Amino acid sequence: MKRAPITLSSRAEQNCLRSRQFCGVEGPAVCSPLLNPGLVRFLTFLCVLCALCGESFSLDREAFSIQNYDLTVQIDPAQHRLGARGKITLRNDASTPQKIAVLQISSSLDWRAIRIADKPVQFLAQPYTSDIDHTGALSEAIVTLPQPVDPHGTIDLDIAYEGIIVLDATRLTRIGTPEDAARSSDWDQIDEKFTGLRGAGHVAWYPIATEVANLSEGNELFEVLARWKAREAGSIMKVTFAVTADDESIPQILLGGLICRDISFQATSQLNQRLLADCKSEPLRSDVPSVLIADYQMVEQRGFEVHYLPGHKAAAASFGDAAEAAFPLISEWFGAQREPAKFAELPDLDATPFESGILLLTPLKGKDAGSAGLSAAHQLTHASFLSFRPWIEEGLAHFAQALYLEHEKNRQAALDYMGLHRSAFLALEAFATKSEDAARDSLVNTVTEELYRSKAMCVWWMLRDMLGDSALKKAIAAYKPEQDKDPSYMPRLISAQTPRDLEWFFDDWVYRDRGLPDFKVESAFARKTLDNAFVVAVTVDNLGTAGAEVPVIVKFAGGEITKRLEVRAKSKATIRVETPSVPTEVVVNDGSVPESDLTNNVFKVATADK
């Protein structure tokens, strides 16, 4: 017998179906009005239960941030072992009370205990696949709290975890990165000869709480990391490191993103000793806490230290000499140092360098003077200037590299260097036309390195070309990170140094991502003046979506003259340039303004006889 199509007559039936759909159970059968009312009530109850189950398993992993860490971390390099215990404070950042908290550490570590108010709490430990850790997975503890924590409320947890950390490039090799390259990139490990642990994004050696971050999903890892850093902004980390050592080795400890008040050695037996370091995070820095332990020796030079591995003194000395050349220029631009910059050697010659605040981890052997100077310009800038906004902090440090090249060589060398960076963000800018992306990908909001490093460097260079060195130096000197409460703070400091209206510039380049300009010389007409000179009228069309002030170079027999012209987005502007002899060619943009198309920038001048 055929059944008639079911119409859902009662609210209960409709609710039931919704519940079933929520549960992921398809089909209306159990919500049929043909069933007796008692059974419907029972099934509805089941549906509701099912819905609740669904809710309890849809974890909000980012509901809590960790506002305070107070950890003692034991590291035994010979055993590759790390054991940590201490207290953390969680804050509910969600808008509803939370009964479940998620804590994550590297998958090679295991949770040993979690207690609240001296009582053990229930937790479920499970592996969680995520590329935020080098192993490609995390050990997750799903903790049932004794009572819900209200929004903005906090709760203290005593925790203990331990395990081993060896070199592991799983997250990279499983997406097809060749083994050697993957190992040189994910070089974190605990080992007798060298221990290097970068924090979230590399090795979760301290607890974090994040949603899945998949390297094969575009920018996902960087977005998850950026969200984590934003939630952790203002959090305080106190760590006491206790490193096991024998009487033969004297390990040195170097920290990134942490400052150590006290480093000492303690004999634990006649043959063994412990290196103890009391460290604390630096307020206003957004660098992930990183720790390095090796038999480092040090050469100290003006403004920085070079920490090198045994047998590499010559490489360290030549690195130091090249780096020292950058010191006067960086002090002139960014003022007195807050602390010396630090360079620490990575043992793998092909290792990918990594920076954490004032500390740069890099191979030293085989580095030429040019790249040593460039590295120094960057880290010395961090040692003098501090901002938690990446486009300012990293943008200025890269800008300093271009300044260094100009100082050591010439302007063209700086422009060539920026040209290399420009190719990094050119492809991204091709898609920067949708309005919803314009704010998200703006320099003040972006989490994309190509933008807050490479594009920001070009923006600082353009500002310098527009305002001059002295005005920009004054704006930089006026910046106080503790007073930086909103994104317009730095633009306002810059605007205060010039009578010019720069709002359009900040709008196109900083507050929004409007893409890039595309300049085209539309026309260039020259005529002879009464005193036998020439005047050429150049009209530049900006076909692009961002405005800029761009150099216009007029070439003539025996030389060239450069003037600057402001051309807003989708607009034209004209400039008159006087030349001593017949002008032959006009070129717009010397490479200092990032542009989407450079093929239409040259124009042959037409000269009218008179």
Distance CA 459, CA 391 (A): 9
Q: Cβ closer to Zn ion: 75 or 358? A: 358
Rounded to the nearest whole angstrom, what is the least distance from the CB of residue 379 to Zn ion in the complex? Answer: 7
Task: Using the structure block, give the residue that is written with the tokens 């950042």.
Answer: 93
Q: Cβ closer to Zn ion: 167 or 284? A: 284
Q: Total residues contacting Zn ion (rule CB under 5 A)?
A: 3
Instruction: Report helix angle 327-334 to 469-478, nearest 10.
Output: 70
Instruction: Report helix angle 369-384 to 327-334, nearest 10.
Output: 30
Q: Cβ closer to Zn ion: 82 or 456? A: 456
Which helix (H) or strand (E) segment holds residue 42: the answer is: helix 37-57
Give yes or no for residue 294 binding Zn ion (CB under 5 A): no
Rounded to the nearest whole angstrom, what is the least distance from the CB of residue 405 to Zn ion in the complex? Answer: 16
Rounded to the nearest whole angstrom, what is the least distance from the CB of residue 124 to Zn ion in the complex? Answer: 39
Q: Cβ closer to Zn ion: 242 or 284? A: 284
Closest CA to 303 of 282, 325, 283: 325
Rounded to the nearest whole angstrom, what is the least distance from the CB of residue 481 to Zn ion in the complex? Answer: 15
Q: If DSSP codes are grouped into helix, strand and coil, which group holds residue 498?
A: coil
Q: If DSSP codes are grouped into helix, strand and coil, which group holds residue 546?
A: coil
Q: 92 burial class (0-12, 13-18, 19+ CB within 10 angstroms)?
A: buried
Stretch that binds Zn ion, among 317-325, 392-400, 487-495, 549-557 (CB under 5 A): 392-400
Q: Cβ closer to Zn ion: 397 or 443? A: 397
Q: C-alpha angle 36/40/44, rounded to 5°? A: 175
Distance CA 224, CA 128 (A): 15
The dihedral over CA atoms of 577, 583, 586, 590, expressed in degrees to the nearest 10, equals -80
Binders in 463-492 for Zn ion, by CB under 5 A: none
Distance CA 224, CA 335 (A): 34
Stretch that binds Zn ion, among 200-208, 279-287, 308-316, 389-397 (CB under 5 A): 389-397
Rounded to the nearest whole angstrom, what is the least distance from the CB of residue 416 to Zn ion in the complex? Answer: 21
CB atoms within 10 A of CB 312: 17
Rounded to the nearest whole angstrom, what is the least distance from the CB of residue 195 to Zn ion in the complex? Answer: 23
Q: Cβ closer to Zn ion: 277 or 361? A: 361
Rounded to the nearest whole angstrom, what is the least distance from the CB of residue 414 to Zn ion in the complex? Answer: 18
Rounded to the nearest whole angstrom, what is the least distance from the CB of residue 393 to Zn ion in the complex? Answer: 7
Stretch that binds Zn ion, among 7-15, 54-62, 290-298, 386-394 (CB under 5 A): 386-394
The dihedral over CA atoms of 138, 142, 148, 154, expressed in degrees to the nearest 10, equals -30
Rounded to the nearest whole angstrom, what is the least distance from the CB of residue 378 to Zn ion in the complex? Answer: 5
Q: Cβ closer to Zn ion: 165 or 376? A: 376
Q: Cβ closer to Zn ion: 251 or 390? A: 390
Stretch that binds Zn ion, among 285-293, 387-395, 529-537, 597-605 (CB under 5 A): 387-395
How does DSSP assign 226-241, residue by residue?
Answer: HHHHHHHTT-EEEEEE
Rounded to the nearest whole angstrom, what is the least distance from the CB of residue 65 to Zn ion in the complex? Answer: 24
Are the CB atoms for 563 and 586 separated by under 8 Å?
no
Rounded to the nearest whole angstrom, what is the least distance from the CB of residue 464 to Zn ion in the complex? Answer: 19
Distances (CA, A) of 386 to 334, 389, 585: 10, 9, 44
Q: Cβ closer to Zn ion: 390 or 583? A: 390
Half-sphere exposure of 183 (CA within 13 A, CB side): 7
The dihedral over CA atoms of 476, 477, 483, 489, expressed in degrees to the nearest 10, equals -30
Q: Which residue is nearest to Zn ion (CB)?
A: 397
Are the CB atoms for 63 and 101 separated by under 8 Å?
yes
Kindly tell me the sign of the dihedral angle through the C-alpha atoms of 441, 443, 449, 453: positive
Binders in 81-100 for Zn ion, by CB under 5 A: none
Q: Cβ closer to Zn ion: 405 or 565? A: 405
Which helix (H) or strand (E) segment holds residue 467: the answer is: helix 456-467
Binders in 346-385 for Zn ion, by CB under 5 A: 355
- The answer for residues whose C-beta is within 8 angstroms of residue 49's C-beta and 6 or more apart is none
Distance CA 202, CA 199 (A): 6
Q: Cβ closer to Zn ion: 188 or 355? A: 355
- The answer for residues whose C-beta is within 8 angstroms of residue 241's C-beta and 6 or more apart is 73, 75, 253, 275, 276, 277, 279, 291
Rounded to the nearest whole angstrom, what is the least distance from the CB of residue 531 to Zn ion in the complex? Answer: 53
Instruction: Report helix angle 469-478 to 456-467, nearest 10.
Output: 120
Q: Cβ closer to Zn ion: 88 or 400? A: 400
Rounded to the nearest whole angstrom, what is the least distance from the CB of residue 27 to Zn ion in the complex? Answer: 57
Rounded to the nearest whole angstrom, what is the least distance from the CB of residue 441 to Zn ion in the complex? Answer: 20
Specify which residues 290 forms β-bridges with. 256
Q: Cβ closer to Zn ion: 111 or 425? A: 425
Q: Cβ closer to Zn ion: 77 or 357? A: 357
Stretch that binds Zn ion, among 51-59, 71-79, 394-402, 438-446 (CB under 5 A): 394-402
Binders in 396-415 for Zn ion, by CB under 5 A: 397
Q: If DSSP codes are grouped into helix, strand and coil, which group holds residue 438?
A: helix
Interaction site with Zn ion (CB under 5 A): 355, 394, 397
